[in-house]
Structure 1
């Protein structure tokens, strides 16, 4: 009995000493999670809007051509307002966006010396660009149609265009932007006159 009591006391003493000398490991610090990349807008869908701006250009008589619209010695400059409506569709590929657009514009490009004016500029455009946050920066290429009244006669022709633009999503559905386009019409309506024009237009659209 005495031996049992001594053994019990020894075990309890040893347990107490062991418990007092044991260090409890601290809990591991939480590992911070990497921030998720900011979501970029999805541009897929149709849109329609209005544009308004300014254009300038020149009509240059080709050498050795029988011109029917103006005197052969005249190279004519023009400028004025341009504005209209447009509609298109974009397809979002991730970091890139492609699409197509049609715009119809009334113009008031007055030719020098009261020769006449360019009254309409319509365009069918292919667009392709990349996203930068809420902005879309893109290039343009396509076909253009223009009509003019010169010295009392009506003329019209098709040509080509290239340009650059930027769109910005103000809200999920409202897009604001600007576009600069260069147009070229060679031998405009068989007159022997080459016409080039550059336009800059501000744009606002509703994205569906």
Structure 2
């Protein structure tokens, strides 16, 4: 019995040193960050390639629910229409809403995107899912999977759909 009590006490001490501390964090406020990702474009001559960019946003934390807005800009050089053109950049305006699971937050994204190419520009809808992990009160790491729909691109009958996966680091003020 004595050995069982010592073993239980030792296991409790080990678990308490390994477990993450439970802290109440208010996720409200302004943040900015950087992202690195990959985008796959479906449509005539669509290709895939790396993206990199920056984002700035503001979140409001209502306990376990979080809502916010964000502006994002990504550079890329993804080929379209064979070798006749390419995507230069994608800008996004996003609204997000999510659930706070302690240091983790899962969220959904809706918004608009503007894709600039070497042969024209157009706006489209975006939607997707994201997840972030609060490393501390100021830094979070995460990722987003977004779907972009550009119908009748630049006044043509051509549709482009793009899926992007972006890994992000954000810094809260």
Interval of TM-score (by shorter of Structure 1 and Structure 2): 0.7 to 0.9
1:48 equivalent in alignment to 2:32: yes
Counterparts of 1:166 and 1:42 in 2: how far apart (Å)? 17
For 1:178, the equivalent position in structure 2 comes to: 143
1:57 equivalent in alignment to 2:41: yes
Spell out the pairing of 1:52-201 with structure 2 (5 A cutoff): 52-59=36-43, 75-111=44-80, 113-149=82-118, 154-201=119-166
Unpaired runs of 5+ residues, structure 2, are 1-21
In the TM superposition, what is the alpha-carbon distance from 1:142 to its structure 2 partner? 0.3
TM-score normalised to structure 1 length? 0.71
In the TM superposition, what is the alpha-carbon distance from 1:109 to its structure 2 partner? 1.1
Runs of 4+ in structure 1 deviating by more than 4 angstroms, as ranges, are: none
**How many positions carry a matched residue from both structures?**
152
Counterparts of 1:166 and 1:182 in 2: how far apart (Å)? 15
For 2:169, the equivalent position in structure 1 comes to: 204
In the TM superposition, what is the alpha-carbon distance from 1:135 to its structure 2 partner? 0.9
Query: Secondary structure in 1 aligned to 2:25?
Result: coil
Whichever structure has more strand as a proportion of its residues is: 2
In the TM superposition, what is the alpha-carbon distance from 1:112 to its structure 2 partner? 5.8
TM-score normalised to structure 2 length? 0.84
- Give the superposed CA RMSD: 1.1
Query: Secondary structure in 2 aligned to 1:113?
Result: coil
Counterparts of 2:170 and 2:23 in 1: how far apart (Å)? 22
Equivalent residues of 2:89, 2:116 under 8 A apart: yes
Unpaired runs of 5+ residues, structure 1, are 1-37, 60-74
| Structure index of larger Rg | 1
Counterparts of 2:166 and 2:107 in 1: how far apart (Å)? 15
Query: Secondary structure in 2 aligned to 1:42?
Result: coil
Counterparts of 1:182 and 1:167 in 2: how far apart (Å)? 18
Equivalent residues of 1:116, 1:148 under 8 A apart: yes
